Structure 1
Amino acid sequence: MTTGPIDIHAHWLPEELFGLPPGSPVPPMHGRDGQLYLGELPLYFETEAMTDPHRVLADTDAAGLGTRVLSAPPFAFPVAAAEGVADYVDDFNEALTKVCRDSGDRLLGLGLVSLHDPDAARTQMDQIAATDVVRGIAVPPLLGSTSFDVDPMRELLRAAAERDLAVLVHPMQLPRPELSSYYLVNLIGNPVETTTAAASLVLGGVLEELPNLRICMLHGGGCAPALVGRWQHGWEKRADVRTAETRSPREGFAGLWFDTLTHDAATLELLRAQADPSHLMCGSDYPFDMGVARPQDLPNGVGIDDATLERNARRFLAL
């Protein structure tokens, strides 16, 4: 594998899977005049940045990165319990494996699993674990109204931990009426979804049950770093916050992993103060408009050097 910073948060989807999984709550993706759309919604980047491995590698080189870790865009998460989901998951994982193997050790992957079917997911994880180039799975923070503290999501994490697979948690940008303007569905909605997932892990006993689980919250953990003190206070004062008999939220939070895509040095400093510094990795959100071209620049600016970022990501990916 090439040395240098590892971007653990980048997206890829072959054009033949633009139809999205059966039962998808969002319309299919498609290219138009070289630009990518979700239904009629423009995504504001070129189609080939999502689909063409040669373009991805060229952009990886231009960014000064050693390796990029590809996962599906969140629209492609199989969030519906629909017939044909397993076939979609298998097709994506097979295509991802081929792209990574053909990349000259520059690309790695995080695959999909059948979220509603833990038995199918276990088989899919066995196949992923056998590839060497797909190093884990990417999942949404919520499935319906539940998160990782209850099944089936909790069972998926058990299966990933058993197989020593990394888990990347990417928000779904779920629609809410109060977030319908100003791109708030992303600017506020995405961080809140991630924060809900982090709370379910820290307060729900998941990290105590699965001490070897490596699970990464993206976008710097959303709002969670700013709320750890509030969680700690509630845990100390209220019995209902302690029902899962967890360690303190401050201790639990240190068990999570994060990318450093906070868009702000002060926010990244807060994350570093609350998290385990050895659990911070660079992530670009390539090629989306909320991403950055050089994800290492912000952490470098607060004193996290490239060697540390690479070392942390290698541990997360069990390389």
Structure 2
Amino acid sequence: MAVRGDVRAGVVDVHAHWPPRELPSLRPGFPLGGMSDRDGELYLGDRPLFFASTAMTGIDVVIADTVKAGLGARAVSAPPFALPAFAPSEADDSVPACDDRLEPAVSSSEGTLVGLGLVRVDDVAAARREMTRLTGTRGIAGVAVPPVVQGRSYGDGVLREVLAAAVDADPAVLVHPMLSPRPEWEDHYLVNLIGNPVETTTAVASVVLSGVLDELPDPRVRFVHGGGCAPALLGRWGHGWRSREDVRHGAGRPPAESFARLSFDTVTHDPEVLRLLAAHAAPERIVCGNDHPFDMAQPEPVRFLSDHGLDAGTLEANGRAFLGIRGPD
């Protein structure tokens, strides 16, 4: 799967969100409730998201923000609460409906936006069909998927098969957490501050420790939020791998070696964490992220990266390679 046609030059942000305005009626069972507009502000259930509805649903607003942020282009995917993870068997209508609305939205952006669609994550055949359908769709680079579905991640079961199907179809795959609620995360926005990094870390660990990369040596998959807690836990995982048979049972190589073959965005909010990620990940595997328009977005993403040692030209090349941007037709 590749994006053909003119895409604006400059750093590419692979992590931003745009849903169709019809998303509330297409919601696939998110437990915190549906998305709604209340006097111009977006709500998730009864919780305000603290930004104007148009910041997410207005394609012109997203385009303007992309240019203002100093970015060349931006990949947009549905917000996390639209990922079909909580009622995946009910997503036969919502997934293609969202994807069908994504194509004209990004095609109207004159090379500023590319799209990441949705797929079923409980049914390999359905996921494969949607990936195949998206192949060749103008402006669509790949898909966004959740890190955990019904207590399972990418080490085994259906999600591992979905990842294998993605290698065959060759879309860009963005693994994005979902604000999964837990009682101990009820206060202080911990569902995001802790929950999102933990979900991502779980997905990274499942790939690193399960031998996925032995079967799928170079999946075009990226994990957001700098890999969550994974860069800080690699030493612990490595110790476990050397010390315990049940840790190294599925993985034929040390965790740090497998980690260096994975890819990550840069939404870390901390220069020291960014440096830690860069110390463990391969330079060509790091791409710019922003998380527009959420309040947890990385402010001034290009400046943040250039101020802390990441080269804009490399980031542009990495982002274009991840998204399969091949240049003009």
Select between 196-205 and 178-187 the one with higher mean Cα deviation.
Answer: 178-187
1:224 paired to 2:233: no
1:105 paired to 2:111: yes
* Aligned residue in 1 for 2:4: none
1:183 paired to 2:189: yes
Task: Decide whether the 8 Å contact of 1:113 with 1:125 is kept in 2.
Answer: yes
- What per-residue deviation string (whole Å, max 9, x for no partner) do you get for residues 10-56 of structure 1? 00111111234343323111111211100110001110111111111
- What per-residue deviation string (whole Å, max 9, x for no partner) do you get for residues 206-247 of structure 1? 111111201111111110000011111111111000111321
Shift of 1:298: 1.8
Shift of 1:80: 3.7
The residue matched to 1:227 in structure 2 has which SS? helix
Task: Decide whether the 8 Å contact of 1:138 with 1:170 is kept in 2.
Answer: yes
* Aligned residue in 1 for 2:270: 264
Matches of 1:82 and 1:244, distance apart in 2: 28
Task: Decide whether the 8 Å contact of 1:8 with 1:313 is kept in 2.
Answer: yes
1:194 paired to 2:166: no
Structure 2 regions of 5+ residues with no counterpart? Answer: 1-6
Shift of 1:318: 1.9
Supply the AA of the counterpart residue of 1:174. S
* Aligned residue in 2 for 1:317: 323
**% identical aligned pairs:** 51
Task: Decide whether the 8 Å contact of 2:30 with 2:86 is kept in 1.
Answer: yes
Shift of 1:264: 0.5
* Match runs of 1:43-62 below 5 Å: 43-62=49-68
Matches of 2:20 and 2:188, distance apart in 1: 30
* Aligned residue in 1 for 2:81: 75
Supply the AA of the counterpart residue of 1:296. V
Matches of 1:84 and 1:227, distance apart in 2: 36
The residue matched to 1:19 in structure 2 has which SS? helix
* Aligned residue in 2 for 1:128: 134
Structure 1 regions of 5+ residues with no counterpart? Answer: none
Highest relative contact order (Cα 8 Å, sep 6+), 1 or 2? 2
Supply the AA of the counterpart residue of 2:128. R
* Aligned residue in 2 for 1:286: 292
Matches of 2:192 and 2:283, distance apart in 1: 26
The alpha-carbon distance between structure 1 residues 46 and 81, as it changes in their structure 2 partners (threshold 3 A), is: closer
Matches of 1:297 and 1:252, distance apart in 2: 30
Runs of 4+ in 1 over 4 A off after TM superposition: 81-84
Matches of 1:132 and 1:162, distance apart in 2: 19
The alpha-carbon distance between structure 1 residues 21 and 30, as it changes in their structure 2 partners (threshold 3 A), is: closer
Supply the AA of the counterpart residue of 2:101. A
Supply the AA of the counterpart residue of 2:304. L
The residue matched to 2:125 in structure 1 has which SS? helix
Select between 72-81 and 22-31 the one with higher mean Cα deviation.
Answer: 22-31
How many residues are matched?
319
Matches of 1:212 and 1:267, distance apart in 2: 25
Shift of 1:252: 0.2
The residue matched to 2:251 in structure 1 has which SS? coil
1:159 paired to 2:165: yes
1:249 paired to 2:251: no
Supply the AA of the counterpart residue of 1:273. A
* Aligned residue in 1 for 2:120: 114
* Aligned residue in 1 for 2:176: 170
Matches of 1:24 and 1:38, distance apart in 2: 9
Shift of 1:91: 0.7
Using structure 2 for the length normalisation, give the TM-score. Answer: 0.94
Supply the AA of the counterpart residue of 1:283. G
Cα RMSD of the aligned pairs, angstroms, is 1.2
Task: Decide whether the 8 Å contact of 1:142 with 1:193 is kept in 2.
Answer: yes
Select between 245-254 and 293-302 the one with higher mean Cα deviation.
Answer: 293-302
Task: Decide whether the 8 Å contact of 2:107 with 2:138 is kept in 1.
Answer: no
Matches of 1:275 and 1:266, distance apart in 2: 14
Matches of 1:20 and 1:79, distance apart in 2: 13
- What per-residue deviation string (whole Å, max 9, x for no partner) do you get for residues 248-305 of structure 1? 1011001111111100000100000011111111111000000034212221111112
Task: Decide whether the 8 Å contact of 1:121 with 1:156 is kept in 2.
Answer: yes
Supply the AA of the counterpart residue of 1:205. G
Task: Decide whether the 8 Å contact of 1:116 with 1:152 is kept in 2.
Answer: yes
Task: Decide whether the 8 Å contact of 1:286 with 1:293 is kept in 2.
Answer: no
Shift of 1:82: 5.5
